[in-house]
Amino acid sequence: MVNLFDEIFSEPVTDPNEAARETMRASRRRFYTTATVREREGAFAVELDDKPVRTPARRLLAFPTLPLAERAATEWQSQGEFIDPAKLPLTRLANTIIDAVVGAHAEVAADVARYIASDLLFYRAEGPERLVARQNNEWDPILAWAREAHGARFLLAQGVVFVTQPEAAVAAMRRLIPASLWRLGAVHVITTLTGSALIALALAEQAITPDDAWAAAHVDENWNQEFWGRDDVALARRALRRTEFDAAISVLRLAPEAP
């Protein structure tokens, strides 16, 4: 079958991380009329003019549930005269999961676990007082959830000096790392976008809303912009990251919890 990503993203790429970067660098004229979904191989595949889409590593672009596949097909159907990879966030996330997470569950889970041990939420500013108060307001509820719902009591520090966390607390949060490959992929993406595994795991457990999670992840960045002024380049990057974040939220909501 035709690998339609070859038509969009130039040379085939075998490394999944490089493939994800390629999708962000390229733009090709739209070459199809209709994006649809068809059940294939026990999953739901996106098709363009009845041709299956394949990932950069030549795997079938297929989703575990129909609603997810329909969202991805809508991304493709909504493209204009030229294909804008930035407007294919769910497709890009699926590429990453299918090409890089499948077969590497332990490694991806271990990466999330490393974030737990040095999470963003543990390290607080020494000042000014308003920034400290804002961090407390946005971050303390997530730590309270970890403590009250899962018995995980973490230590806080001022500044950037590393603090070793209680192993029992880290282990309690590790148990929340999803077994499902799709949900694991979404949690990993949210962790790297926000710098916080606790934010990602709280989202996976529906303990916080996406908007609250996004606000918590940008406390320091928002403070700096308020202090130094608006940075349009940084805001554009954040808007792109938000589309990736929202795609991961869709996976958490619509992918099955079972492996």
State pLDDT tens for residues 209-231.
999 999 999 999 998 888 777 78
The whole-number pLDDT of residue 228 equals: 78
Say what percent of the chain tops pLDDT 90: 78
Domain at 105-254, CATH class: mainly alpha
CATH number assigned to the domain covering 4-86: 3.30.2180.10
- CATH code 3.30.2180.10 region(s) in the chain: 4-86
Q: Is there a contact between 14 and 23 (Cβ–Cβ < 8 Å)?
A: no
- CATH code 1.10.3580.10 region(s) in the chain: 105-254
- pLDDT tens digits along 150-166: 999 999 999 888 999 99
- pLDDT tens digits along 115-151: 999 999 999 999 999 999 999 999 999 999 999 999 9
H-state helical runs in the chain: 4-8, 16-25, 66-77, 89-96, 105-117, 129-150, 167-174, 181-194, 197-204, 210-217, 219-228, 232-254
Cα(25)–Cα(218) distance, integer angstroms:
26
Please compute the mean of the pLDDT values over residues 87-107 and round it to a whole number: 95
DSSP-assigned letter for residue 51: E
